[in-house]
Amino acid sequence: MIIEGKNPVKELLSSGATVEKVYVLKTQDPQLGYIAAKAAEKKIKVICADKAVLDKLSVSGRHQGALAVTTEFKYATPAEILAAAKSKGKPHFILILDGIEDPHNLGAIIRVAECAGVDGIIIGKHRASGVTDAAVKVSAGASAHVLIARVTNVNDTIRELKEEFINVIAADAGGEPIYGSRLTGDLALVIGGEGEGVHALTKKLCDKTVSLPMFGKVNSLNASVACGAAIYEAVRQRS
């Protein structure tokens, strides 16, 4: 996996992830100098290269002079997310993604979830994006600091969470107004995919559905935008 960009590479180096080598542009940029020094400190091979070399390695074309070659993303398990949440001594706050297919949306969701202090994210293995190079790039390094589990069946995981007395709430159209809904206590918030939203069976398994108000002529939001709004309403209530 290739991680691109100054912030994602810096966060990767501070996360304890396995990094094989780091490429930095031959320049006097202090941020790139910091990255090179941090990598050298960790005994990671540092290659100072021309822009043409970085351009050839880059997937996005926006490497900002920094690239890191690392092992594939290491997923957590739902049990590890629950254990980490329990260790914090406060109510669980878990995010479940039901069919997010765009890695850019996934990256944006990871970023907002990490900023909001979510305990972990659960995604499906099928018909959904995994944590790709693009998702890591868009997350601005947040993927290195939040637990992400990839499960075979999201619905089975929801059943398991409910057995742990975690309130599972879907954020989707047709629900009760989110601003009048209780989002405190042990909570798993379910966000649907870009096209279908939360699947019917998944929604049926949830304890209830909440919706963001819509006042314009367009009756839907981008998945990552809707997720951010819902997460921060929960943060507001839990603060």
Q: Which residue has the higher pLDDT, 87 or 16?
A: 87
Q: Which residue's structure tokens are 């990256």?
A: 107
CA-to-CA distance for 93 and 118, rounded, in angstroms? 5
Q: Does the domain made of 78-238 have the CATH classification 3.40.1280.10?
A: yes
CA-to-CA distance for 27 and 165, rounded, in angstroms? 54
CA-to-CA distance for 192 and 203, rounded, in angstroms? 9
CA-to-CA distance for 174 and 183, rounded, in angstroms? 17
Q: Can you tell me whether residue 219 is helix, strand or coil?
A: coil
The 10s digit of each residue's pLDDT in 119-153 is: 999 999 988 999 998 898 899 889 989 999 999 99
The CATH 3.40.1280.10 portion of the chain extends over: 78-238
**234 closest CA partner among 67, 30, 95:** 95
> What is residue 14's predicted lDDT score, i.e. its pLDDT?
87
The 10s digit of each residue's pLDDT in 43-56 is: 999 999 999 999 99
Whether pTM exceeds 0.85: no
> What is residue 17's predicted lDDT score, i.e. its pLDDT?
80
CB 202 within 8 A of CB 100: no
Amino acid found at 22? V
> What is residue 59's predicted lDDT score, i.e. its pLDDT?
83
For residues 100-116, give the mean pLDDT. Answer: 96
Q: Which residue's structure tokens are 């989110």?
A: 178
The CATH 3.30.1330.30 portion of the chain extends over: 2-70
Strands (E), the chain: 2-4, 19-25, 45-49, 66-70, 93-98, 120-124, 147-151, 167-177, 187-192, 208-211
Q: Is the predicted pLDDT of residue 178 greater than 80, yes or no?
A: yes
The 10s digit of each residue's pLDDT in 56-71 is: 999 888 899 999 998 8
CATH topology of domain 2-70: 60s Ribosomal Protein L30; Chain: A; (3.30.1330)
